[in-house]
Amino acid sequence: MLVVTYLAYFAEILPISFYLIFLKRNRGEGLWVIFLYCVLSLLTEGLFVLIQQQLVFSGFIIVQFGLFSYYFYSTFRQKNFRYIALLGSAVFCVVAIANFSNERFTWIAESLTSILVIIYCILSLYEQIKDPETVFVYRNKKFWVTIALFIYFSSTLFLYLFSTTLSREQRHMYWAINNFFEILKNILFSVSFIIIKDHSTPATMEYIDN
């Protein structure tokens, strides 16, 4: 368990490093938002070790959702999807303000974040698949970011929903699941930062040009 915890922490360095190494190919597409999230996530983990205050994570959850909402809002092409992102942000703000002083704030806010980000990911994947400019969706940097977030929040949602029903020992035991998917998320972020942007011309356009 302890090994997985350390691996999850050091795995957060991977996407940060690869973003900086391949900085030129990561300009645009809102990838700086994901980079900022990775940096803040790493700093939050370190700060929590130092001061051991749950307020650190509570604050990070709010910042985390704000970054993801901005990322999806800025990358959505359809106006209807942008409106959904705005509505989701409004709902989150209301819930966060109403429950911030509540001891259950962390799991409430994290659960709501998971649900909303999963919805955003589904909309983003739908938009990417339907995009005629995309030949191979897996060659799109946004695809790997979306998949990383979708897998992570889908896998950890129920951990947060049922966290209040678990004892401290059970919570510690099951938290290894979160750590595993934390590692996977950062690996997929790294893939997004490493791959070269897809500048392929759609087959239909090639046919027209010829």
DSSP string for 112-140:
HHHHHHHHHHHHHHHHHHH-TT-S-GGG-
Domain assignment present for residue 206? The answer is no
Whether 6 is covered by a domain: the verdict is no
For residue 156, tell me if it sits in a domain.
yes
pLDDT score, position 169: 73
- Among residues 33, 40, 32, which one has the least CA distance to residue 12? 40
Per-residue pLDDT tens for 136-161?
A: 788 889 999 999 999 999 998 887 77
Does 20 fall in a domain? Answer: yes
The pLDDT tens digits for 74-83 are 999 999 999 9
Residue 1 falls inside a structural domain: no
Distance between CA 114 and CA 135 in Å, rounded?
29
Q: Is residue 207 part of a domain?
A: no
Q: Is residue 2 one of the residues assigned to a domain?
A: no
Query: What gap in Å lies between CA 196 and CA 118, rounded to an integer?
Result: 26
pTM for the model stands at 0.86
Mean pLDDT over each residue of the chain, to the nearest integer: 84
**Looking at the domain assignment, is residue 184 inside a domain?**
yes
CB atoms within 10 A of CB 72: 28
Q: What is the total count of domains within the chain? A: 1
Domain range enclosing 112: 12-200
C-alpha span between 86 and 206 (Å, rounded): 37
Does position 64 have pLDDT exceeding 70, yes or no?
yes
Which of 25-34, 45-54, 142-151 comes out lowest in average pLDDT? 45-54
Is the sign of the CA dihedral 118, 123, 129, 134 positive or negative? Answer: negative
pLDDT at 206 over 60: no
